[in-house]
Structure 1
């Protein structure tokens, strides 16, 4: 069995679940940080390589494409290799893909680089979520999931601030290279410090799809909610700056305003998870937050209150990410989490992968900077509908 440890080397281990969560948060930041590089330097890439925005959207979405065929096999691989080894491999792939993107001179080379990053993203995402459930199942799961998923917008916010600055003051390739370095450091930290919780038993290594029909149904519906939610967020990140630029804002200022949402949701997401755990009313909280989310996007389009719109979107609209992610724990039995998480992330990669390209196509065809935002509103509405369908299915097919 592969463990990912260094032969003969020191075995540094962390055992407190909150310290483990801190380790997972810091290292998972790399996913959003690498992902955002393409969106933040899109103007420079369009100018230098002569791409259109549909192609930029496809490069953003390509980050998710490997999940279409790797999510389930990656979950199955959890029966053969340790969780930290798989996460480490994923982070190394993110680093290699980012390094290649920093050397790219053509759309084809950028596509290959983003595809490699996507392989690392899907592998590591599945097992970041899986190990968090392992450590917090039956405890503060919604809180822990909220903290974990906030590492994604934290990395994106870091990228919105730093990648654009690097592109303007140095070169757009520097954004990918800096992100690649962070991913490599994160891989090293996971291999050295992560320890599985006691009481987690590993099944005999074998490739077998063990999800029952009911588990599969619940997992697919939960994955749709998670996928629509993330797709809406990515469309917001990628195309909201165009709204501000159209209204006369400098590109760096526009990116800064849009990034406000990513910064504030880091705290609000954790608080939302705590509120869900304390009140036991995740659905009500979710629907209120999604309503504010849609309203904030419409405020961005129809008013000049851009900062208020970004604040509302981040503070309230995106706060229930952990609530949605925690549906995964209710969709499958503990012994099936590795493969179950693979199926769960299929929804994210399919929907989040397609959404930027669709939004980019809408903009290219119409040159209407508001259409991608209306598309994002529709995605958040679909999130709420998917959550409702999950609750109905959960009552009819309890595990």
Structure 2
């Protein structure tokens, strides 16, 4: 088999990861339309985001193990099929129960995609380029989010909220065909295909042996996503509630992802050059904490705060994904990223649900933004603990 450049694989994985981003973030821009159309509450709207992450709590680790055993192509195709089915159920559903069911099903597939993407890059890229690759792949989520926040609301206004949801289904179908017919298996001669593949039962038993460091990295990822996804879910609604029009409100919310899109690759480059990923996470978490706390209680121009949020956000994802191969061997990376995804999904489940509930109870967003700030700060604290532990182990 001819040599395949890892950068070509990155292109496949990037468009693959965009399926996750588009399906995941397709709901927030049309929440207002769904609430008025189906008569659901803000807490129920938050649940449509939260229940997307619910299956990931249970299937992420098995999904990562299966990807270790059977490879990214086979499991990736299965994940795309499941995502497509769930997305179609949401786009065609006419009541809250159908929408929740569709979000759960699409969550099973899309969150498996989110496991396969970093696992595959960790296997194809050497350490000297891994940070850059992780930085690039982490622009897929902001790109998809920016697109949905700035386009899907306008599409829903011009037609119906179902149109943008169904467009994500069409994209998912296209990537399914691409993966089935074009995506290469791991080639011989890379040195990785000969690594020992553990059985499913043996891999499950190895969960206890991954070490505290992996769980701390997973906790960082959980707190970051609980905070960031809560902001992306309700940021637009908050800005509309204080007097901004829907288009500008969506733009202000999307500044988090614009910053991530512009800076993630640069952050990945810095981690390749400097290491010390924990310090990047701590700095980004502190900046997010301060700005999220200030959003509802200051007269500072919201664009300034949005830019600061956009600067802080990209200092977490690429370092988090780059840390995993430091603590796990290649044949267990799927398990490691599965653990991260499990904790991510718990954060996605709890964060928006609690913020939506706090709004229903108080009819304002002060407590919700307080919660987002606390979650962001917690991620920084876990990163500090991780750094302290690794320093002690080296002594």
**TM-score, normalization by structure 2:** 0.92
Distance 1:397 1:72, change over 3 A: farther
Of the candidates 303, 312, 318, which is equivalent to residue 316 of structure 1? 312
Q: Residue 206 of structure 1 corresponds to which residue in structure 2?
A: 199
Q: Distance in 2 between matches of 1:162 and 1:312?
A: 23
Shift of 1:199: 1.5
Q: Distance in 1 between matches of 2:357 and 2:35?
A: 15
Shift of 1:214: 4.7
Q: Distance in 2 between matches of 1:295 and 1:204?
A: 45
Of the candidates 325, 333, 352, which is equivalent to residue 337 of structure 1? 333
Q: Residue 227 of structure 1 corresponds to which residue in structure 2?
A: 222
Shift of 1:183: 1.5
1:95 aligns with 2:84: yes
Q: Distance in 2 between matches of 1:379 and 1:137?
A: 33
Shift of 1:333: 1.9
Distance 1:353 1:277, change over 3 A: same
SS at match of 2:60: helix
Q: Distance in 2 between matches of 1:63 and 1:392?
A: 34
Q: Distance in 2 between matches of 1:317 and 1:350?
A: 19
Q: Residue 251 of structure 2 corresponds to which residue in structure 1?
A: 256
Q: Distance in 2 between matches of 1:50 and 1:14?
A: 55
Q: How does 1:1-399 map to 2 (within 5 A)?
A: 15-191=4-180, 192-196=182-186, 198-200=190-192, 201-204=194-197, 206-207=199-200, 208-209=202-203, 211=206, 213-301=208-296, 302-395=298-391
Shift of 1:213: 4.1
Instruction: Write out per-residue CA displacement over residues 328-379 of structure 1, whole angstroms, 9 at most, x where no aligned residue.
Output: 2223222211222222211111112211101100111111122222211111
Does the aligned pair in 2 maintain the 1:360–1:372 contact within 8 Å? yes
Any gaps of 5 or more consecutive residues in structure 2? none
Deviates more, 1:113-122 or 1:235-244: 235-244
Q: Distance in 2 between matches of 1:385 and 1:293?
A: 13
Instruction: Write out per-residue CA displacement over residues 207-264 of structure 1, whole angstroms, 9 at most, x where no aligned residue.
Output: 1225364524222221111111111110111122233112211122211221132123
Instruction: Write out per-residue CA displacement over residues 180-213 of structure 1, whole angstroms, 9 at most, x where no aligned residue.
Output: 1112222222331344252213535621225364
Shift of 1:23: 2.2
Does the aligned pair in 1 maintain the 2:33–2:161 contact within 8 Å? yes
Distance 1:150 1:164, change over 3 A: same
Any gaps of 5 or more consecutive residues in structure 1? 1-10
Does the aligned pair in 2 maintain the 1:87–1:128 contact within 8 Å? no
- Matched residue pairs, number? 387
RMSD: 2.1
Shift of 1:103: 0.7
Instruction: Write out per-residue CA displacement over residues 140-199 of structure 1, whole angstroms, 9 at most, x where no aligned residue.
Output: 222211211221121111111121111111100111100111122222223313442522
Distance 1:331 1:255, change over 3 A: same
Does the aligned pair in 2 maintain the 1:72–1:342 contact within 8 Å? yes
Does the aligned pair in 2 maintain the 1:223–1:347 contact within 8 Å? yes
Q: Distance in 1 between matches of 2:392 and 2:276?
A: 19
Shift of 1:391: 2.5
Does the aligned pair in 1 maintain the 2:60–2:115 contact within 8 Å? yes
